[in-house]
Amino acid sequence: MDRSWMRANRLSDEFDKGVVEFLEFAEKNLPNNKGLFPCPCVSCGNRDPKLTKAEIRDHLAWKGICQNYTRWIWHGEVVTPSVSQREKVCVDTDDRLEDMIHDIGEESFKRAHVYDTLCKDKEEPLYPGCTNFTRLSAVLRLFNLKAKNGWSDKSFTDLLGLLKEMLPEGNTMPNRHYEAKKVLCPMGMEYEKIHACPNDCILYRKEFENYDHCPKCKASRYKKKDGDSNDDVSTKGPPAKVLWYLPIISRFKRLFSNANDAKNLRWHAEERIDDGKIRHVADSLQWKNIDGNFAKE
């Protein structure tokens, strides 16, 4: 059933016609409700008490319908997928991994063999005869669970070791957290480590790249080792402080490489309705559109 009327002007014929069809849909699919239905207006939000069709129609014309109520489950719509739909969901889930690798692109990898290894892990079954999981998909699902439930690295290593023993012989499951991370590392974003002054005076880059001491506070670039004097600090040890720099350009490329994500990122400029009504945070009176950009007044 068409739901475009939900975003139309509440005073328009389109909105009123959509409300009538919506109420007829509810009456048809909830015949035993004694003429009373949950009201999906912005104020009621499908909470009790239930109202008559006429009252709901007045509420929707006055306050508008909840925009996120796109599945009318409180008005008789059945959302349980059919067998064919469930099969399609499984296929879509499997294809999502393929889409992720495609979005990253081979050109994003500094070494070709890293990309080849990632593609191999995507195709290699978790164990001989396994059709549900590949090495890459299994590790990805396990890492999602780790992040969702806050597992420690040690507990994750213990789990991997147990799974390794439980799965059939010849399985490709990593048995340590470090090995599992190596499987997913190629899908990560590049970063740069820059040595920094321990007192935050400078970064050892550009004209300071070859300095061993901070020119402002004279602090050593490297940590002191046992036996080092104040004036003689080993330059072969670890740096005193490191800044992890995340290049923004590569992250923009990754964001816009997916067509759906790119569409969402451009939504505020291409699809946002700007008619003076508040539908989004960007419509607030304390913000205004300046040459396509949003800035505080």
Residue-wise pLDDT tens digits, 280-289: 777 776 545 4
Predicted local confidence at residue 121, as pLDDT: 75
Predicted local confidence at residue 191, as pLDDT: 75
| Alpha helices, DSSP H, located in 105-174 | 112-123, 135-149, 153-166
Q: Do 150 and 235 share a domain, yes or no?
A: no
Domain of residue 58: give its range.
4-75
The residues facing 133 across adjacent strands are none
User: Distance (Å, rounded) from C-alpha 142 to C-alpha 145?
Assistant: 5
Predicted local confidence at residue 201, as pLDDT: 92
Give the end of a domain, one of 164, 187, 210: 187
Q: Do 232 and 277 share a domain, yes or no?
A: no
Predicted local confidence at residue 203, as pLDDT: 93
Q: Do 237 and 217 share a domain, yes or no?
A: yes
Where the chain has pLDDT below 50, the residues are 81-95, 111-112, 287, 289, 292, 296-297
8 token code pair: 């139309």
Give the end of a domain, one of 75, 102, 135: 75
Predicted local confidence at residue 157, as pLDDT: 92
Residue-wise pLDDT tens digits, 179-223: 888 887 666 666 788 999 999 999 998 999 888 889 999 888 888
Closest among 185, 216, 178, 181 to 200, alpha carbons compared: 216
Domains of the chain: total:
4
Q: Do 163 and 87 share a domain, yes or no?
A: yes
CB-based contacts of 48, cutoff 8 Å, min separation 6: 38
Q: Do 113 and 18 share a domain, yes or no?
A: no
Q: Using a cut of 0.75, tell me whether the model's pTM lies above it.
A: no
Provide DSSP, 198-213: TTSS-BS-GGGTT-SB
Helix, strand, or coil (residue 21): helix
Q: Do 18 and 89 share a domain, yes or no?
A: no
Q: Do 65 and 133 share a domain, yes or no?
A: no
Closest among 148, 111, 118, 155 to 134, alpha carbons compared: 118
Q: Which one-letter DSSP state was computed for residue 284?
A: S
Q: Do 113 and 183 share a domain, yes or no?
A: yes
Q: Do 167 and 93 share a domain, yes or no?
A: yes
Give the end of a domain, one of 140, 165, 187: 187
Q: Do 25 and 116 share a domain, yes or no?
A: no
Q: Do 93 and 167 share a domain, yes or no?
A: yes
C-alpha distances in Å from residue 134, one per residue of 2, 143, 157, 158, 261: 40, 14, 19, 21, 26
Closest among 72, 70, 122, 80 to 100, alpha carbons compared: 122
CB-based contacts of 5, cutoff 8 Å, min separation 6: 14, 15, 17, 18, 19, 21
Residue 294: its H or E element:
strand 293-296
The residues facing 192 across adjacent strands are 245
